[in-house]
Amino acid sequence: MGKTIVQKIWENHLVAAEEGRPDLLYIDLHLLHEVTSPQAFDGLREKGRTVRRPELCFAVMDHNVPTINRSVIEDETARKQLAALETNCREFGIKLAGLDSEEQGIVHVTGPELGLTWPGKTVVCGDSHTSTHGAFGALAFGIGTSEVEHVLACQSLYQKRPKVLEVHVSGKRPFGVTAKDIILNFIAQNGTNAGTGFVIEFTGDTIAELTMEERMTVCNMAIEAGAKAGLISPDETTFRYLKDRKYAPKDSEFEKYKQQWSGLASDQDAVYDKTIKMDAADIAPMVTWGTNPGMAVPITGHVPDVSGTDSKYKADEIRHAASYMGLSPGEQLEGIPVQHVFIGSCTNARLSDLRDAANVIKGKKVSSGVRALVVPGSQSVKRAAEKEGLHEIFLNAGFEWRESGCSMCLGMNPDIVPQGERCASTSNRNFEGRQGKGARTHLVSPVMAAAAAVEGHLADVRKLSIQEEVLHATL
């Protein structure tokens, strides 16, 4: 019987397996950021322990960092956490991409682009969106702070063997439909706990045709479907992306690894614990109306009514979420005014996301009354975008062009959506208070965020007067 990639990676990393206990897995790459690591390092110090393999750790500053006026960090907790990360990395010998580093960026953007994430690796980070790295065919998942301490000390982790859910996506994506819409559609159709207890492997020709950056968007949000991790079997697209990256294997070494990585893909006759099939042709540009990523509909849709016939949500859930969002059940989404647009986050702030949004923005202006931010996912994305002149397109349109960080994805830094105001956001979570107390978030793709910025309201990117060939190059 064939094996899934998850089984193969699991077996390659098994340190100990005992009946009735979780397995002990070896960890290849440990990413760290300032929010979830301070207590872990304190724990090591208290117990007089060292970091077992500091060269397998890589730390970045991302959540708390300001994206403008970087030298002043006003918030005390933020200042302390950033200072602690710096001290801890120095004391324990861990490489850090700090505020002034060329490699600074959101951990899930900067890690892959540096070539730290390889097929077949076990990757952990004290951060739920570690699933992003699964795009490379790595088994990558978020861990809690006590587990961060464990991995620092032992380079291994106790884990229960997960089940594997195959999400098979086939068919051609219609015009205007992006990787973000694929994953939002999956969550909307199957719920925020569709993946509970599973690792999701995305398969099918639609997935195979995605670029690495698009694959990262899909895997990034696997966690929002409740999954432990999301991954995609590695192929030529993966290898092409990795080649010549800073920390990827070099030359003949790379060829050797490539052989090995090719063997990791799930076997033709692999048996999954469950399979869900999706047809890409049925997907439309999506927008969330509520307070979890599953509360999403096509932009032509509306907030569900409370009769319960057009939604899997109960009347009470619809009423509650709609009320937080300042919407009414049954209300049409297209045309709802937004005061903020955020193009950023580890879901959608890579170079191709910025290019896509810029193609929509080009020659247009941000609508009056809208504050629009572009926050590149990393300094390297920022530099590459500037080299292409994307920053000028955004600045000329009236966008703010910022330094990299988590920014408006969550309210842990100065980029906040004020109470009661509405934001079209390319991030991954629309929970109550996520972008600030009382803030209202609508999750969308970069092209849909760009459309909202120029129209001043939630808008259907397919209806904008954009040169067809420009948009087709993008979508």
Ligand X SMILES: CC(C)[C@H](C(=O)O)[C@@H](O)C(=O)O
Fill in the DSSP letter of residue 332.
B
Q: 3-class DSSP state for residue 443?
A: strand
CB of 299 to ligand X, least distance (A): 24
Please check if 406 is assigned to a binding site.
yes
Residue with smaller CB distance to ligand X, 125 or 366: 125
410 is a site residue for ligand SF4 (CB under 6 A): yes
97 is a site residue for ligand SF4 (CB under 6 A): no
With CB cut-offs between 5 and 8 Å by kind, which of ligand X, ligand SF4, none does residue 106 bind?
A: ligand SF4
Instruction: Find residue 281's DSSP bridge partners.
Output: none
Please check if 409 is assigned to a binding site.
yes
CB of 263 to ligand X, least distance (A): 32
Residue with smaller CB distance to ligand SF4, 217 or 311: 217
User: Whose CB is nearest to ligand X?
Assistant: 128
184 is a site residue for ligand SF4 (CB under 6 A): no
Comparing CA positions, the residue from 168, 170, 223, 235 lying closest to residue 199 is 223
With CB cut-offs between 5 and 8 Å by kind, which of ligand X, ligand SF4, none does residue 345 bind?
A: ligand SF4
Count CB neighbours of 348 within 10 A.
33
Cα dihedral across residues 241, 283, 300, 306: positive or negative: negative
Span 203-242, contacts to ligand SF4 by CB under 6 A: none
CA neighbours closer than 13 Å in the CB half-sphere of residue 448 = 31
Which amino acid is residue 260, in one-letter code?
A: Q
CB of 427 to ligand SF4, least distance (A): 6
81 is a site residue for ligand SF4 (CB under 6 A): no
Q: What is the spatial distance between Cα 282 and Cα 168, in angstroms, rounded to a whole number?
A: 14
With CB cut-offs between 5 and 8 Å by kind, which of ligand X, ligand SF4, none does residue 101 bind?
A: none
The tokens 């032509």 sit on which residue? 300
CB of 132 to ligand SF4, least distance (A): 8
Residue with smaller CB distance to ligand SF4, 129 or 173: 129
CB of 432 to ligand SF4, least distance (A): 16
Q: What is the spatial distance between Cα 26 and Cα 56, in angstroms, rounded to a whole number?
A: 11
Strand pairing report for 274-279 and 296-298: unpaired
Candidates 322, 409, 443, 444: give the one binding ligand SF4 (CB under 6 A).
409
The H or E element containing residue 153 is helix 145-154
Residue with smaller CB distance to ligand SF4, 306 or 406: 406
427 is a site residue for ligand SF4 (CB under 6 A): yes
With CB cut-offs between 5 and 8 Å by kind, which of ligand X, ligand SF4, none does residue 36 bind?
A: ligand X
346 is a site residue for ligand SF4 (CB under 6 A): yes
Residue with smaller CB distance to ligand X, 148 or 210: 148
63 is a site residue for ligand SF4 (CB under 6 A): yes
Q: What is the spatial distance between Cα 79 and Cα 102, in angstroms, rounded to a whole number?
A: 20
181-201 exposure pattern, b = at least 16 Cβ within 10 A, e = fewer: bbbbbbbbbbbbebbeebbbb
Fill in the DSSP letter of residue 445.
-
Candidates 311, 379, 380, 428: give the one binding ligand SF4 (CB under 6 A).
428
Residue 32 tokens read as 């760290």
Are 373 and 341 in contact by the 8 Å Cβ rule? The answer is yes
129 is a site residue for ligand SF4 (CB under 6 A): yes
**Size of the chain, expressed as the number of residues it contains:** 475
Instruction: Find residue 31's DSSP bridge partners.
Output: 58, 125
Residue with smaller CB distance to ligand X, 35 or 351: 35
The H or E element containing residue 356 is helix 351-361
With CB cut-offs between 5 and 8 Å by kind, which of ligand SF4, ligand X, none does residue 142 bind?
A: ligand X
With CB cut-offs between 5 and 8 Å by kind, which of ligand X, ligand SF4, none does residue 35 bind?
A: ligand X
To 10 degrees, the CA torsion angle through 215, 395, 420, 64? 60
CB of 407 to ligand SF4, least distance (A): 7
**Largest Cα–Cα distance in the chain?**
64
Fill in the DSSP letter of residue 329.
T
The H or E element containing residue 288 is strand 286-288
Residue with smaller CB distance to ligand X, 106 or 114: 106
110 is a site residue for ligand SF4 (CB under 6 A): no
Q: Which residues bind ligand X (CB under 6 A)?
A: 35-36, 63, 127-129, 142, 410
Binding site for ligand SF4 (CB under 6 A): 62-63, 106, 108, 127, 129, 345-346, 406, 409-410, 427-428
Q: Would you list which residues are annotated within the binding site?
A: 346, 406, 409
Q: Would you list which residues are annotated within the binding site for [4Fe-4S] cluster?
A: 346, 406, 409
